[in-house]
Structure 1
Amino acid sequence: MDGYERIIVSCRDTDVLVLLTHFAGQLRGELWMRTGTRQERRYVAVHDIQLTPTMQRNILVYHAVTGCDTVSQPSGHGKKTTWKVFQQHGALLDDLGRGTLSESTIRSVEELFCRIYAPASDETNINDVRYRMFQKGTKDQEKLPPTRKCLEHHIKRAHHQAQVWFQADVPIPKIDTSVWTILCQTNSQT
Structure 2
Amino acid sequence: MWVNSKLFDPIETANFDDILFKEVHTFVLRLYTSNEEISSVNNLRGILAASKTLEKLPPTEYSLKQHCLRAHYQTIIWLNAFNPVINPPNVLEYGWQLINGKLVPLFQTLPPFPQDLAILSSCGCKKGNYT
1:88 correspondence with 2:3:
yes
Structure 2 unaligned regions, length at least 5: 100-105, 110-131
1:181 aligns with 2:92: yes
Q: Does 1:107 align with 2:22?
A: yes
Equivalent residue in structure 1 for 2:35, among 121, 125, 135: 121
What are structure 1's unaligned runs of at least 5 residues?
1-84
Kindly indicate whether the alpha-carbon contact (under 8 Å) linking 2:70 and 2:96 is maintained by their aligned counterparts in 1: no
Name the aligned partner's letter for residue 181 of structure 1: L
2:13 paired residue among 94, 98, 101: 98
What is aligned with 1:143? 56
Distance of 1:117 and 1:109 partners within structure 2: 13
CA contact (8 A) 1:93 1:109 kept: yes
How many matched pairs?
99
Mapped pair 1:170 → 2:83: yes
Q: Percent identity?
A: 24
For residues 121 and 167 of structure 1, do their structure 2 counterparts lie closer, same or farther at Cα, with a shift above 3 Å needed?
Answer: farther
In the superposition, the TM-score normalised over structure 2's length comes to 0.61
Superposition deviation, residue 157 in structure 1: 0.7
Q: 1:174 to 1:93 in 2, by over 3 A?
A: farther
TM-superposition CA deviations, 1:25-81 (whole Å, max 9, x none): xxxxxxxxxxxxxxxxxxxxxxxxxxxxxxxxxxxxxxxxxxxxxxxxxxxxxxxxx
Q: List, as ranges, runs of 4+ consecutive aligned residues in structure 1 with deviation greater than 6 Å.
A: none
TM-score, with structure 1 as normaliser: 0.44
Coordinate RMSD, CA, aligned: 2.6
Q: Which has the higher helix share?
A: 1
CA positional deviation for 1:99: 1.4
